[in-house]
Chain A
């Protein structure tokens, strides 16, 4: 049984203009100890999927309209609030994009770690503070004991994200959801934080759902990758084989867009023509069909189902690229 299994998840936002189907039938599973990357452009539904797992989406004005989120066999969507709170921060923890705004500005780092501990463990204040120092050591915060008294605004971006990770790891979760954890950081700090996450994951044996739009980060960090487009997973599989031979035309377009070093100088940069469809009015067939170079009339008839492509690969496409030989460099 996978640690986390998302089946047919639908998360919608009701707006004045109509129902925005931000996540529209996502299927995804994560095994214990595994890192799965969720990639896609802005608005593809990556973060909404992540927030839906912990049901944080209701406070953000969204509604989970359907599907199942099975965590260790229990459907998170059916839990009562008390049982849900017992999972949040305890068995599934989360870190965020902007560590400064994600930390409470008027509480010290120590207080915020201690809170995470004491919400789920029967532990005294003194013991919790000692444990907080250990956690800060674990995330390699310089002079951890002094940092307990420090407030978020006095720390650097990297140190804030380290503090955030220490909070998330307080109860040794089985699954860490990292929502673009390095986007707000500079490049050197990004590398350090990713190294730290990889190392901690190995040491603590936890699974990680990494949300990112940075394909380089995916290649370095993840075991498997799922590509999201307009609220659906269009392709997933092991990072290496998927990056080597993407089956879905959208994945191929994404990968081509980052391989600009391989282009002859002066040539036109590759792009995916057209725009992401409005989530208010998705096309009846494949959402990518209007922009797809391989689209046929069949693509507009109905959404393609997820099909197995061998070696643990899955793709939702009527006309996938199946051979690794076929057209590596775009015309």
Chain B
């Protein structure tokens, strides 16, 4: 009991310490972003002038002064950092809206899509991995491993398009895109149901690749764990196969899975770009895609920075989960 209190206290200082470590990481990302902005040919004024069709050099200089672009690079960098600190990500001249506001309006949709896809990938992946491991080298294992290889190999965007063709166009079971039925004016449970129907295909599509990764990871960890000494102890104690599989082996297979989760939170954001585009899901990924297409540099950098923040926070969360599920990870230790 005393151990639990110590661990709780350790957890708090661990969190604080990790939060402090986040600061230089974010600073690094911001510096990199700024560098890209500097290296890229032309600036906002060039783009604006190009779009207007004509502009006098005097007018451009005036604009540069207004945006602070005539100042020395270090001063500009300081400005940029200060803007980030005050959560001012700049203005999107394309969308005619502050970048932060744009991102915030799109963030919930992306988070919903990512969480749904992750939930499907983790659940289904674990299930496939466990079943394949318990029936290793049988036809069930071969079948499941074949299916997993297929989902791993098939390009996400192609799978998305084919899903639309089958489930929307041919069968007509599910909507082909968007997040809710436009103009239906649904509320309450009807709205939730409507969003879920729209969510199903994109979430499934996005989950396939990750599902494959989890299934393979769980299968191989389970096989390794079946040979572990403590599994032999569980057998010697008289535990049944189900108990051995779930309570002893799978519980320990969770540890590499959580590690993988941290890696994948980043790659899932980029995966969302394709899926959101295919399913016209109003999320950050599609916003980023549009920003690239229209050379909306402010918006793009804002999204990049914001995504980095999300990834850093998810990793922090995963570290925290690790402390909770693996007693060997000691939050009170100075070095993790």
Contact = CB atoms under 8 A, between A and B. Distances in A.
A56 B232 contact: yes
A236 interface: no
Contacts of A164: 233
B238 A102 contact: no
Contact of B239 (A96, A98, A115, A149): A115
Given A59-B235, A119-B237, A98 B328 contact: no
Contact of A106 (B1, B237, B239, B327): B327
Contacts of B237: 88-89, 93, 115-116, 119, 167
Interface in A93-143: 93-94, 96, 98, 101-108, 115-116, 119-120
Given A106-B327, A149-B1, A149-B3, A98 B236 contact: no
Nearest to A91: B238
A150 B3 contact: yes
Given A105-B252, A106-B326, 10 more contacts: A59-B232, A85-B238, A85-B240, A96-B233, A106-B255, A106-B327, A107-B251, A119-B238, A153-B328, A164-B233
A56 B230 CA distance: 13
B238 A105 contact: no
Contacts of A146: 1-3
B233 A102 contact: yes
A54 B233 CA distance: 11
Contact of B248 (A59, A104, A116, A153): A104
Interface string B235-254: 11111100000011001100
A149 B233 contact: no
A119 B229 contact: no
Contact of B252 (A54, A104, A115, A153): A104
Nearest to A149: B3
Contact of A120 (B2, B238, B240, B327): B238
A104 B233 contact: yes
A149 B2 CA distance: 9
B321 interface: no
Nearest to A146: B2
Which 8 pairs, one residue from A and one from B, show the smallest C-beta to C-beta distance? A89-B237, A89-B238, A88-B238, A101-B229, A151-B327, A94-B236, A104-B230, A85-B238
Interface residues of B, number: 28
A93 B236 contact: yes
Interface string B202-238: 0000000000000000000000001111111111111
Contacts, number: 86
Contacts of A101: 228-230
6 contacts: A56-B235, A85-B240, A96-B229, A105-B327, A105-B328, A146-B1
B4 interface: yes
B325 A119 contact: no
Contacts of A88: 235-238
Of B233, B239, B255, chain A has the most CB atoms within 10 Å of the CB of B233
A79 interface: no
B240 A98 contact: no
Nearest to A164: B233
A250 to B, nearest CB: 30
Prevailing SS type, chain B contact patch: helix
A153 B228 CA distance: 16
Contacts of A105: 230, 252, 326-328
B232 A96 contact: yes
A108 B327 CA distance: 9
Interface string A145-167: 01001110100000000001001
B220 to A, nearest CB: 18
A168 B328 CA distance: 24
Nearest to B4: A149
B253 to A, nearest CB: 11
A323 to B, nearest CB: 43
B7 to A, nearest CB: 10
Given A86-B238, A87-B238, A115-B237, A102 B232 contact: yes
Nearest to B2: A146
Nearest to B234: A104
A103 B233 contact: yes
A41 B1 CA distance: 45
Nearest to B241: A81
A212 interface: no
A90 interface: yes
A151 B323 CA distance: 14
Contacts of A120: 238
Nearest to A103: B230
Contacts of B229: 96, 98, 101-102
A150 B255 CA distance: 19
Interface in B1-45: 1-4
A223 B229 CA distance: 29
Given A98-B229, A151-B328, A106 B238 contact: no
A290 B326 CA distance: 53
